[in-house]
């Protein structure tokens, strides 16, 4: 692990064989999970996928972007997705090997830059769960709350590298566990079975939206960042409102905080 400590920030260790194991299709079919494309992506460009919401377990992001269970490479030929996660997840023996082989990498700035500045190749898609841990604690059954208004680091990355922003929304991500309040931790979750760890069987649909093409600005001003951020917010709202009725969320209002 010490010798290999830089791998999570230098592209990981991609294994098509591991990503195509049949076990991932079994997991996908349990919910079931679907991946929807709204527009083709140019494999000669790099991308930042902004994933929403975090949910309790982020199963939509894991199955859609770490495996081929929902046929990502067929829908987006020439694009290699890399789900970004906390660097601390690579401190666990064996787990780190699984994550690295599935294409998962550290969500640090250095790691994102490795893909976005062309050090790797073209056709890379950095998948960032924008809301992070703060959005995790906002997760509620049958609600859509995106912690996004103060998240602008990914906007700066897009401007500095001239890569396209792609809004991604998963419908059903928040419905795998019920949240309850108690006097000890103020929040606990429950799924299926006696112990409650098994997630509820609820359909999960991830919709990949239209890319926002970004002109490169090596040293973007705060105005540049704010303008692109506003454009991204509008794209997220449009993607949600256009698709919510298709997946049972017609009466659920999107809350962006």
Residue ranges of domains in the chain, CATH in brackets = 8-180+199-254 (3.40.1130)
Q: Which residues of 8-37 are buried (b: 16+ CB within 10 A; e: fewer)?
A: bbebbbeeeebbeeeebbebbeebbbbbbe
Tokens of 67: 């495996």
* Gap between the Cα atoms of 170 and 59, Å rounded: 10
> Is the per-residue pLDDT at 44 higher than 90?
yes
Over the chain, what is the mean pLDDT? 91
Inter-residue contact 52 to 130 (CB < 8 Å): yes
User: pLDDT digit string (tens) for 91-110?
Assistant: 998 999 999 999 999 999 99
> Is the per-residue pLDDT at 187 higher than 70?
no
Of the listed ranges 41-50, 116-125, 190-199, the least confidently predicted one is: 190-199
pLDDT for the residue numbered 140: 86
pLDDT for the residue numbered 193: 67
- Identify the residue whose tokens are 């709350």: 145
Q: How many CB atoms lie within 10 A of CB 63?
A: 25
pLDDT for the residue numbered 33: 97
Inter-residue contact 136 to 56 (CB < 8 Å): yes
pLDDT for the residue numbered 34: 97
């Amino acid at each position: 692990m010490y010798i290999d400590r830089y791998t999570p920030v230098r592209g990981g260790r991609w294994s098509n064989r591991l990503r195509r194991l049949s076990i991932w299709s079994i997991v996908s079919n349990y919910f079931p999970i679907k991946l929807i494309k709204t527009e083709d992506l140019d494999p000669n460009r790099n991308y930042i996928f902004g994933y929403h919401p975090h949910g309790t377990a982020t199963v939509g992001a894991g199955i859609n972007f770490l495996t081929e269970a929902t046929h990502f490479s067929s829908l987006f030929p020439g694009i290699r997705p890399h789900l970004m996660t906390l660097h601390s997840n690579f401190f666990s023996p064996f787990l780190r090997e699984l994550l690295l082989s599935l294409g998962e990498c550290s969500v640090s700035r250095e790691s994102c830059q490795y893909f976005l500045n062309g050090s790797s190749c073209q056709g890379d898609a950095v998948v960032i769960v924008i809301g992070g841990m703060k959005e995790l604690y906002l997760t509620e059954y049958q609600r859509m709350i995106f912690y996004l208004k103060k998240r602008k680091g990914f906007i700066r990355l897009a401007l500095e590298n001239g890569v396209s922003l792609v809004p991604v929304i998963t419908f059903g991500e928040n419905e795998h566990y019920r949240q309850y309040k108690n006097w000890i931790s103020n929040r606990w979750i429950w799924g299926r079975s006696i112990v409650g760890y098994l997630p509820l069987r609820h359909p999960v649909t991830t919709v990949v939206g239209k890319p926002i093409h970004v002109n490169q600005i090596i040293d973007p001003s705060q105005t540049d960042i704010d303008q692109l951020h506003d454009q991204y917010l509008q794209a997220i709202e449009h993607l949600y409102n256009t698709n919510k009725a298709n997946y049972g969320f017609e009466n659920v209002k999107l809350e962006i905080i």
